Structure 1
Amino acid sequence: MSEEPQEHVLDEKGEFHVVDEPIDISHYRFEDWLAFAIFWVLAIVIFYQFFTRYALNDSASWTEEIARYLLVATVFIGAAVNVRKNNHIQVDFFYRFMPHAMNRALSTLVDALRFLFLAYCVYLTIFLMTKIGSQRMAIIDWPIGILYGFVAFGFALMAWRSAGVAFANWKRGASVLERPELADEAR
Structure 2
Amino acid sequence: MTDYKTSNKSGEAGTIVSDFHIEEDDHFSFSDYKVEDWLAFILFWLLALTVFAQFMSRYVFESPLGWTEEIARYQLICLGFLGSCIGIRNNSHIFVSLFHRWFSAKLSHNIYRVIALCNVLFLSILAYFAWQIIPLLSIHKMASLPISISVLYGVVFGSLLILIFRSVQHFIRILSTPAPDKTDDILASCD
Give yes or no for the alignment of 1:104 onto 2:106: no
Cα distance 1:21–1:76, how it changes in 2: closer, same or farther (>3 A)? closer
Q: Secondary structure of 1:179's match?
A: helix
Give yes or no for the alignment of 1:153 onto 2:140: no
Q: Secondary structure of 1:125's match?
A: helix
- Name 2:188's counterpart in structure 1: 181
Cα distance 1:177–1:127, how it changes in 2: closer, same or farther (>3 A)? farther
**Given residue 131 of structure 1, which amino acid in structure 2 is its aligned partner?**
L
Question: How far does residue 42 in structure 1 lie from its aligned partner after superposition?
Answer: 0.6
CA distance in 2, matches of 1:104, 1:182: 9
Q: How many aligned residue pairs are there? A: 172
Cα distance 1:20–1:31, how it changes in 2: closer, same or farther (>3 A)? closer
- Name 1:33's counterpart in structure 2: 38
CA distance in 2, matches of 1:139, 1:174: 54
- Name 1:16's counterpart in structure 2: none
Give yes or no for the alignment of 1:63 onto 2:68: yes
Greater shift, 36-45 or 130-139, is seen at: 130-139
Gaps of 5+ in 1: 7-18
Give yes or no for the alignment of 1:85 onto 2:87: no
Over aligned residue pairs, what C-alpha RMSD do you find? 2.5
Question: How far does residue 115 in structure 1 lie from its aligned partner after superposition?
Answer: 0.3
Q: Secondary structure of 1:168's match?
A: helix
- Name 1:119's counterpart in structure 2: 124
Cα distance 1:49–1:170, how it changes in 2: closer, same or farther (>3 A)? same
Cα distance 1:177–1:91, how it changes in 2: closer, same or farther (>3 A)? farther
> More relative contact order in 1 or in 2 (CA 8 Å, sep 6+)?
1
Superposed CA deviations along residues 48-95 of structure 1, whole A, max 9, x for unmatched, are: 111111111101111111111111111111110001111111111111
Superposed CA deviations along residues 84-129 of structure 1, whole A, max 9, x for unmatched, are: 1111111111111112332232111111100000011000111111
- Name 1:166's counterpart in structure 2: 171
Contact 1:134 1:143 in 2 (8 A): yes
Cα distance 1:98–1:20, how it changes in 2: closer, same or farther (>3 A)? closer
CA distance in 2, matches of 1:51, 1:148: 29
